[in-house]
Amino acid sequence: MALHLDNTTQQNVNQWLSEAYDAETKSQIQQLIDQEDQITLTDSFYKSLEFGTGGMRGEMGVGCNRMNRYTVGAATQGFANYLLTVLGNQKIKVAIAHDSRNNSPEFCRIAADIFTANGIEVYLFPALRPTPQLSFAVRHLGCHAGIVITASHNPKEYNGYKAYWSDGSQVVAPHDKNIVAEVNAILSVDDIKFQGNDALLHLLDDQIDQEYLKTIQANCRQPEVIQRQKDLKIVFSPIHGTGITLVPKALALLGFTSVHVVQEQAEPNGNFPTVIYPNPEEKEAMTLALEQAKALDADLVIATDPDADRVGAAVKSPSGEWQLLNGNQMASLILYYLLKVDKKLGRLTGKEFVAKTIVTTDLIDKMCAQQGVPCYNTLTGFKYIAQVIRELEGKEKFIGGGEESYGYLIGDAVRDKDAVASCAMIAELTAYAKDQGKSLFDFLAEMYIENNFYYEGLISLTKKGKAGAEEIKQMMINLRSNVPASVAGSKPVKVLDYEGLQSTDLTTGQVSPIVEGRGIEASNVIQLILADGSKVSARPSGTEPKIKFYVSVNAPLASAADFDATFSSLQAKVKTIQEDLGLK
């Protein structure tokens, strides 16, 4: 069969076959043409890989819609142009790191060369390091910006590019959109300066590791408890990623002596050979760690994703079965421990705060209110939590926070989710529980007995193509215009519409503004609050053809013996809410 490419795709293919591109790239394109691989050619060239407000992510390969030296080059040149425009004649500094993915070291070096070619000094991690350490390095080294080459927990075919600003946070307004505009203005490969200047390149040594680890050690609340429970049996898996570089070191620094690394997943490997998805949210990715925990009769299982910004954990139930904790549960446990211990140690002075996203469990708000600690709710994305920390810096002290998608932060030395620091804190709170003769499961049950058993369900609906996009749009219109009279037997009492930044009390009809700022801006999110304390949040994805519904329910828990029955009841309620709202 002959190839039938549309005009845009064909023009992009022709451009990439020109003299401006290297021989290997042109050879790979010609191979696809000779094989008449229309599907791959079309997907690789029908559009340019989008550089969004936080960076970009995509499959690796040749073409303008793939991650490769030219798309990484255009992103970096655009970022460099923006830095030079905004910062003028300053001595500009950028920090760069990468994860364990295939091509990450090469993309990292390409980016470093382009920055130095533009007269920008680069502080480069010569080997893979966790994403949160890049955030730390930007601030510690006084850099103006940073990037990390990573696709987080995506499948092995993917790589990506995260952009950071001088506070160590992923870029936010107005820089985010302005950088995107500069990247989009790179229309030719000739605009990219690939020839680096090694005189402006500084390779970082392990001193930056030590400085970062010091901040994790400083987070430790009760070193004497860890000393008593130093033989706590911890199973850790980096799932072939960057966690191996610093998580065992952090645990050892705190004093833990019985850390067992899952050897089959210890070596960094961009093919992630032992898992389907390198994501600790997936039970399959935790299988080897759980098997090792059973064999050792361990106290705790923890696993980090490839760039070590997310962490999954598992606890042993009274029946002896290992259960994975979801992101809401672990975020709650971390804050439950920090608030409890900080109060005991006299660390709560009235100047502390917690931050989380609006779709993360309200259990955290409740626990903070009991201790008189403000809990600021932000839009989804850790950059918004970082924005709150930045706005309150010097006025209020950040205790910790997180989001339901397995990302947590303790202290403010880092301005992104931090699995290394989180692993250390999860180990500490497990040691604290054991020091009181309890398991981590007992600690979880204790939290629920004191505050109600909160359970959150996520319903993610995929609606592909133009028709799918229209369907998602209509679902949001319907929610805004036709609030149901009853959901799972409970009456909606409030609607929070973040697109219009307004809150409507359905009992009185009173409309109040949702205050913009501190991690809140106009966004296509709706929340229904029910009379019984349940909450439903609807949020279309900005990057995928999906709409997500976050359902939160709660009920009293009389005793740990009632855990399973209460859990089953709450799961059934989430299902009823799903059915009543027609979410399918």
Residues 450 and 444: their CA atoms lie apart, in Å, by 10
What gap in Å lies between CA 267 and CA 264, rounded to an integer? 7
Q: Output the DSSP codes for 147-182.
A: EEE--TTS-TTEEEEEEEETTSSBP-TTHHHHHHHH
What's the rounded Cα separation, in Å, for the pair 185 and 20? 18
Q: Give residue 94's pLDDT.
A: 98
On whether the CB atoms of residues 344 and 131 are closer than 8 A, the answer is no
What SS3 state is found at 526? strand
Long-range CB pairs of 391-398, under 8 A, 24+ apart, other chains included: 391/517, 391/518, 392/353, 395/351, 396/351, 396/352, 396/353, 397/351, 397/352, 397/353, 398/352, 398/353, 398/354, 398/355
Q: What is the pLDDT of residue 126?
A: 96
Question: d(Cα 540, Cα 461) in Å, to the nearest integer?
Answer: 9
Q: How much is the CA Rg of the chain, to the nearest whole Å?
A: 24
- In angstroms, the CA 62 to CA 558 distance is 59
For residue 465, which amino acid is it?
Answer: G
Strand partners, 147: 96, 163
Q: Which residues pair with 550 in a beta bridge?
A: 458, 537
Write out the H or E segment, with its range, that includes residue 455: strand 453-462
Location of structure tokens 């655009």: 78
Closest CA to 385 of 370, 366, 399, 372: 399
Q: Which of 44, 104, 135, 152 does the annotation list as catalytic?
A: 152
Beta bridge partners of 315: 323
Q: Strand, helix or coil at 69?
A: helix
**For residue 353, what are the β-bridge partners?**
398
Residue 414's contacts (CB-CB under 8 Å, 6 or more residues apart) are 132, 133, 135, 136, 168, 215, 421
Task: Name the stretches of the chain with pLDDT < 50.
Answer: none
In this prediction, residue 543 carries a pLDDT of 63
Residue 293 identity? A
Backbone angles phi, psi at 395, to 5 degrees: -115, -45
Residue 52: predicted pLDDT: 79
Strands of the 397-403 sheet, one edge to the other? 375-378, 352-357, 397-403, 407-410
- What is the rounded CA–CA span in Å between residue 28 and residue 33? 9
pLDDT at residue 465 in the model: 79
Contact yes or no for 204/124 (Cβ under 8 A): yes
3-state secondary structure of 539: strand
CA atoms 130, 352, 224, 438: torsion sign? negative
Token pair of 302 as six digits: 């923890």
pLDDT digits (tens, 9 = 90+) for 59-104: 999 999 999 999 999 999 999 999 999 998 899 999 999 999 999 9
**Beta strands 158-165 and 201-203, pairing class:** unpaired
Beta bridge partners of 376: 355
Query: Is 319 considered catalytic here?
Result: no
